[in-house]
Homo-oligomer: A and B are copies of this chain.
């Protein structure tokens, strides 16, 4: 098993080098890049659809959408008005890596892009280990999951800067406790910035848009 571990380390270190190159290129271009991570079905694609609908005219947004199979998410995002969208089909891998993202970015015209959204594979384990060159990871949990998810998947919460709690319109239909969820996430990572929202009803989305605007604008200063 040590042989396996050393090869995994080698793979991760190659990944980190590629991620650093992507990060340097994005910084040069002044593109704010986020890596969206969550369980399957927490609302990553819906959030991107809404964000493009609301900000697509004032910000130039590029999207890289990863899935194990199908280009369904990329197609949904294009239908929602996304113009610079590339799918990545990992073909079995449980996460995106910097090589896949680098290749996808080569196929997007990045001139004057303000915001890059990377939609990772729906998985709370593997994507935590792979730097994609993003400015930060944004983890989404939804109120239809257990509120102890941050404790069960601590690496993901530790490595994220922002935590979104989605589907707050469904609060009360399960035992999900919002205060407990925030408390559990903060226990793992005291620096997390929270957004509570429903991509379906629209509640809480303005705060998210405002934060994106501000993050993009801070980068241009």
- Chain B residues lying within 8 Å of A153, measured Cβ to Cβ, are 40, 68-69
Chain A binding surface, main DSSP class: loop
What total of chain A residues lie within 8 Å of the partner, measured CB to CB? 41
CA distance A121 to B153 in the complex (A): 10
Stretch at the interface among A17-25, A104-112, A143-151: A143-151
A220 interfacial contact with B, CB 8 Å: no
State the number of copies, please.
2
A-B contact pairs, 15 of them (CB 8 A): A4-B7, A40-B149, A41-B142, A41-B149, A68-B124, A68-B154, A69-B151, A69-B152, A69-B153, A69-B154, A94-B126, A123-B123, A142-B144, A170-B173, A173-B173
- Chain B residues lying within 8 Å of A149, measured Cβ to Cβ, are 40-41
- Chain B residues lying within 8 Å of A179, measured Cβ to Cβ, are none
Cβ contact of A145, chosen from B40, B68, B123, cutoff 8 A: B40
A4-B7, A69-B151 given. 5 additional CB < 8 A pairs? Answer: A68-B155, A92-B125, A94-B94, A94-B126, A144-B170
Q: How far is the CB of A1 from chain B (nearest CB, A)?
A: 8
Cβ contact of A4, chosen from B11, B142, B148, B169, cutoff 8 A: B11
Cβ contact of A152, chosen from B3, B70, B146, B152, cutoff 8 A: B70
Q: How far is the CB of A75 from chain B (nearest CB, A)?
A: 11
